[in-house]
Structure 1
């Protein structure tokens, strides 16, 4: 089903999408496959809802967000199972993601009441200058499959808090999680047209979003390639945009670091969601003096990670999303081996009894060099290459990727070194001795080709607001 104007409806065409469990390759169910007509209907509903919604007191908008958060909290077990079945991450990870999704709803429920304008000192005694904060208007959001719940609320919550109706296009691989999020808004009585959901063809659904003049804002999380296309497609109607795009995160370990903590951090960052996260570690740089010890300890930890269906007890590594993702991992490892790297653990496809999905062993590569494909392209899989370095000046130069600038990590006990690194790393997010920096109350986003704008914190709601300057002449 689609959710348009407060109602569950079939697609105009009657077409359906198959939803496949990546652990078993079995079809879970079918859902409505929307097209440009469905997208247009959803946009029209949002446009009609805009004026009454932006006029709704912030306290009332906040109440809807908080009620939806409570609904999701009450259904967390069922929702987590759905996430695991349609995209593969272990169920405990899914629960963690849902917890973050709830945090976004609750945070922006509070931020809705804190959208402040300002007064400006005037240069004329008979003038008063003011800046009003107003919602940008109908917002179209395109969300990814790897965090199918949290990425929806991270966009939807600040938009609704600001007074913007939203049309969501979820990833075709994970529409069931999105449907359950919208069940929450339906059950708490969100006004018709304020939140709409259209799954289906990206070219048709999103194409209508970028062309339609009623849509004033596009927000997207996904690959840099697709993000660039959306920017180009939105140019003709000059939409406001925010893009959270690809990453290639360096993870830097100095010889003074707590090595055990660094190893645990690298495992947490790299292998969460089987390496299918935009801020996961892609390159591990270890100072020469501790490189051998780090590699040994790291490989031991990684070798112990249990691979399997995410619904099973103790599983840490679920399946990759599809065959294309598996092929990319194989390509990167093969190229690294051909260029002299050694595999410390993993390195091949994993067979999981009773499951036919795209499982791959968590892999550690030693002796990686900057010429390898894995050093340049985002892998999006459970492969961790280890590099060595001598000085911090050297590692800064190598760590600052030419194109990407989403997240970076550094482990050190030296406070002055920590400050140096946080200032010199050209990334929108820097974790110092912290492999999981994401939180609802802080800004999330990248620089360079990793994105435009920020999500999270009080910064996130500004992406859905416009400044209106008013000059009042009293004479």
Structure 2
């Protein structure tokens, strides 16, 4: 069993408390690694290190900063299989999905590195003679990246790449369930010789360690991927220092299928968009909203296709592994049972897998609920797992009303051949991302953001890069 340390100012160090945390494999419940149980003292050390390093790092030309990112990408590729195996062990995603995550990590960092020569400011006409008016983009300084457990490696690339290329330094805190891939990532950072303090790693829970990071006056920007509850707590903790925030929080993505849609394409996209990574994707299909004219046909095909999913050892050729933790199974059971008492029916699945190869681990059947109405629990709470409710609607107006009634606004799906419906959705759906006639996807040059309780700020693309820069106006008299 490996034990991993904090990485602070270019050195591997123990927690100030001397305490360790166990890391559990969700497929078999075995403890396979130990990490440091960090506290406020560790947070302060990491922040002070990043503050010390930032001025020098920020003055380095952006293309020079990008060279370190290219070197990190090369090292990640050399250790691709190792990183994928760690992702399977700590998070439970399939090995195939883990390999994709490693590739995505490289892609996020590559996009950031390539942006080094594209950071732009502006020159505007001045009001006075012999004067110029400039607006420059400058780094915030010390940033903190708080990463969720569903994509523990890719989220580091998504946050650290843009932060570093724009001249910021960053302290990374991975989720306590999935810290090992982060530790190995920082082994790579050490190998490439990134200057001490530019990137620091601390591990521990979100209560003491996380709060110390986000409430410190040293921290100038916090980027978070996590739950609404966590985002609200961070928002409150950051308020006294007016710390800048980028929050990508929960979602409840409606998957709308109208009666003029290609049902077979919609069904395949719906299955992929619900059960990818065991349903643990923020923009997953969380609730199907189906026109009543095609409800029976679509439901039948959804059940048929979902039954084909292969569940098992995530290191083998399967479609779905376990949930990440026991608490997640309890949450799904509660949502399902309450929704059934409210009048919905279990059309497929509906329970834990416990026998044979599933005796150990956090396994759940792919589940479909029918007869779900907008007022039921499964329509309101983010499930974040392999459970899908199906709701019937009479019209497109009703579908839009259902989608917009949610306090979330991360993403939505719409299947229809009617372009007037597509345009209405663009104008009326209050979400950050809309997928038309296609399943779950994402491009590095796009933008990933939420509306309403799903967050503020965002990541990816040119707008994501700009999120790590603040503006400085210069009046130059000559």
Q: Give the distance between the partners of 1:207 and 1:371, measured in 2 at CA.
A: 35
Please give the TM-score of this superposition, normalised by the length of structure 1.
0.97
SS at match of 1:308: coil
| 2:334 counterpart (328, 331, 334) | 331
Q: Give the distance between the partners of 2:175 and 2:437, measured in 1 at CA.
A: 33
Q: 1:352 Cα shift? A: 5.4
Q: 1:437 Cα shift? A: 2.7
SS at match of 1:215: coil
Q: Give the distance between the partners of 2:323 and 2:316, measured in 1 at CA.
A: 16
Q: 1:413 Cα shift? A: 2.0
Q: 1:215 Cα shift? A: 1.1
Structure 2 vs 1, CA of residues 352 and 131 (structure 1 numbering), >3 Å: closer, same or farther?
A: farther
Report the aligned-residue RMSD.
Answer: 1.2
| 1:139 counterpart (143, 146, 154) | 143
Residue matched to 1:244: 248
Residue matched to 1:109: 113
Q: Deviations over 1:41-79 (max 9, x none)?
A: 111110111011011111111111111112112211111
Please give the TM-score of this superposition, normalised by the length of structure 2.
0.97
Residue matched to 1:427: 431
Residue matched to 1:32: 36
Contact map agreement 2:369 2:388 (CA 8 A) in 1: yes
- Structure 1 window deviating more from structure 2 (331-340 vs 457-466): it is 331-340
| 2:95 counterpart (86, 91, 95) | 91
Q: 1:395 Cα shift? A: 0.7
Residue matched to 1:229: 233
SS at match of 2:476: strand
Residue matched to 1:379: 383
Residue matched to 2:319: 316
Q: Give the distance between the partners of 1:348 and 1:148, measured in 2 at CA.
A: 27
Q: Deviations over 1:7-46 (max 9, x none)?
A: 1111122110100001111111211211111111111110
- Structure 1 window deviating more from structure 2 (250-259 vs 407-416): it is 407-416
| 1:282 counterpart (277, 282, 286) | 286
Asked whether 1:296 is paired with 2:300, we answer yes
| 2:179 counterpart (175, 180, 203) | 175
Q: 1:2 Cα shift? A: 0.8
Contact map agreement 1:62 1:109 (CA 8 A) in 2: yes
Asked whether 1:351 is paired with 2:354, we answer yes
Structure 2 vs 1, CA of residues 420 and 65 (structure 1 numbering), >3 Å: closer, same or farther?
A: same
Q: Give the distance between the partners of 1:331 and 1:266, measured in 2 at CA.
A: 23
Structure 2 vs 1, CA of residues 113 and 352 (structure 1 numbering), >3 Å: closer, same or farther?
A: farther
Residue-pair matches, total: 473
Residue matched to 1:340: 343
Q: Deviations over 1:102-134 (max 9, x none)?
A: 110000001122111110112222321111111
Q: Deviations over 1:389-413 (max 9, x none)?
A: 1211111001114310001111122
SS at match of 2:327: helix
SS at match of 2:23: strand
Alignment of structure 1 residues 390-409 onto 2, 5 Å: 390-409=394-413
Any stretches of 5+ residues in structure 1 without a counterpart? none
Residue matched to 1:415: 419
Q: Deviations over 1:196-219 (max 9, x none)?
A: 000013222222212321111111
Q: Give the distance between the partners of 1:453 and 1:352, measured in 2 at CA.
A: 44
- Structure 1 window deviating more from structure 2 (356-365 vs 416-425): it is 416-425
| 2:466 counterpart (446, 457, 462) | 462
Q: 1:415 Cα shift? A: 2.5
Q: Give the distance between the partners of 1:411 and 1:226, measured in 2 at CA.
A: 33
Q: Give the distance between the partners of 2:103 and 2:15, measured in 1 at CA.
A: 31
Asked whether 1:215 is paired with 2:215, we answer no
Q: Give the distance between the partners of 2:68 and 2:158, measured in 1 at CA.
A: 15
